[in-house]
Amino acid sequence: MTDVVDKETRSRMMSGIRGKDTAPELFVRRALHAKGFRYLLHSPNLPGRPDMVFPKYRAVIFVHGCFWHMHDCKYFKLPGSRTEFWRQKLSKNRQRDEGALETVQALGWRVLVIWECATRESRINQSNNALVENVAQWITSEAPSSEIGIDGHLHQLSLHA
């Protein structure tokens, strides 16, 4: 199937997709900063360049977009055109993510993955206090690596590899 927009328009659209400083990431960063947390951004010294690094707590946070990281939620849908291309690309993204998460954990860091859907639902339901409280509690505790999905609750991180 051919693209519905011309090549220049598609190029402009794709160049607008951000790899960092995304809306979900900024939402989490601002909320944590308001609670007094200080962090490093996108540390090149750690695999996968975590979105936020909390050296004091030996903890890192990745804020993953549901589409680009193939989250199993209502917001992820494989495109109807060029399906095999997208399946391969997104599968490689997921494999890369899992390798980075495993390596970061092996280096002694705790990992929290916050999925885009958690921030969306939090903003829609205006329940961001619960999400932010869960994240703040996780950071300051010694809880194992975890993830927060669409339900807004902490779950032990499971790698799909």
What strands lie across the sheet with 52-54, from one edge to the other?
A: 40-41, 52-54, 59-64, 110-115, 146-148, 154-156
Domains of the chain: residue spans and CATH = 18-156 (3.40.960.10)
Contact 54/136 with Cβ under 8 angstroms? Answer: no
What are the pLDDT digits (tens) for 100-132?
Answer: 999 999 999 999 999 999 998 776 665 558 899
- Two tokens, residue 127: 């329940």
Contact 106/61 with Cβ under 8 angstroms? Answer: no
- Two tokens, residue 97: 């993510």
Whether the predicted pLDDT of 49 surpasses 50: yes
Other beta carbons within 10 Å of 72: 11
Contact 39/46 with Cβ under 8 angstroms? Answer: no
pTM, two decimals, is 0.85
Amino acid 161: pLDDT: 44
